[in-house]
Amino acid sequence: MLDYKKDRIAWLYLAIPLFLLIVFTFYPLVKTVLISLFTQYNSLTDDFGKFFDLMAYQHVLGDRFFLGALGNTMIIVFVSVPISTILAILIAVALNSIKPLQKVFQTIFFIPYVTNTLAIGMVFSVMFTHSSVQGLLPEGLVNTIFNLNLDWVGESAPFERWMFVVLLYNIWNALPFKILVFIGGLQSISKQYYDAAKIDAAPKNRVLTKITIPLLSPLISYIVITSFIGSFKTYESVLAVAAKPGKSLDFDRLTVVAYVYDKIDKIGMDEINFVSHYSKAAAAAVILFAIILIFTVVNLYVSKKRVHY
């Protein structure tokens, strides 16, 4: 009788989060999959139409702008996540090893985390700005310091320049939270490991690779998985740094999420293929979800082999 009462109370506690999950997570997910399969979905009347097929997926996977957006997203994910994670570990180890002004430096490194993403992106955009007509507007900070005359993020900027600025922004923006997490992990490592290393006169690089990294591996795994998921959903950083004056992106600068937003903004159907723009957006969102799910499963599998709990 007592166990039954405890179970009932536990289910009561779980009822509210389960209800919220069903309404705000599972229902939108199921409906998105259905919209992607009903290729003539009408977003104004919420009418799914009669055609149930894979035409939306076929058109999205054959759309060069989607493939370009997927390529941009992959570059952001596989460049910014490893670099920012390694830098965060090194900075956290350095901060943890100094005692004077440690809290001051931690606060300085954490400030970008509490600053609005778009505001930081606009600052980056101004730093790398370039006047299309020489002398009409002042050059950005980077061009001024290095005496350059390059368009980094403007409409005439080549791929490697605007992508470099976006990657720089993503790495810099990701550092504060990762540093904070790693410092917390470092401070929880028992000092006896480092005392034993001192007695053995172990060099610093061996201490880092044989003691610090293995004992931090659960946190590193958590940071890598969540960073991969977040980077796959990159949108605001590209919009803030490399958008046109009206805050819209060129098609060759889209990420997958930006591609989805672009399709959602359009009402009706494609006049050539008669596939709903909303169904294409849903298909792109489902493809992104599948990619994130696959990478997350792979990361979890690798974590089981490499992480020391």
| Average pLDDT value for residue range 129-145 | 76
Measured between alpha carbons, how far is 263 from 277 in angstroms, rounded to an integer?
A: 5
More confidently predicted of 309 and 83: 83
Among 276, 254, 273, smallest CA distance to 36 is for 276
DSSP string, 191-253: HHHHHHHHHTT--HHHHIIIIIHHHHHHHHHHHHHHHHHHHHT--HHHHHHH--TTS---GGG
What is the pTM assigned to this prediction?
0.85
pLDDT value of position 103: 78
- Mean pLDDT over 176-184 rounds to 90
Cα–Cα distance between 194 and 214 in angstroms, integer? 13
Counting every residue written for the chain, the total comes to 309
Q: Residue 299 is encoded by which pair of tokens?
A: 């990361």
Residue 174 in this model has a pLDDT that exceeds 60: yes
192 vs 201: CA distance, rounded Å: 14
Estimate to the nearest angstrom the gap between the alpha carbon of 204 and the chain centroid: 32
Structure tokens at 10: 């536990």
Q: What pLDDT was estimated at residue 133?
A: 66
> Above 70 in pLDDT, residue 239?
yes
Beta strands in 37-189 (DSSP E): none
pLDDT band per the 50, 70, 90 thresholds, residue 143: confident
pLDDT digits (tens, 9 = 90+) for 28-50: 999 999 999 998 888 888 888 88
**Average pLDDT in the chain:** 87
Q: Produce one character per residue of 75-105: b if its CB has 16 or more CB atoms within 10 Å, e if not.
A: ebbebbbebbbebbbebbbebbeeeeeeeee
Q: pLDDT tens digit string along 147-171?
A: 888 888 888 889 999 999 999 999 9
pLDDT digits 0-9 by tens, 247-262:
778 888 999 999 999 9
**pLDDT tens for each residue of 192-211:** 888 888 888 888 888 888 88
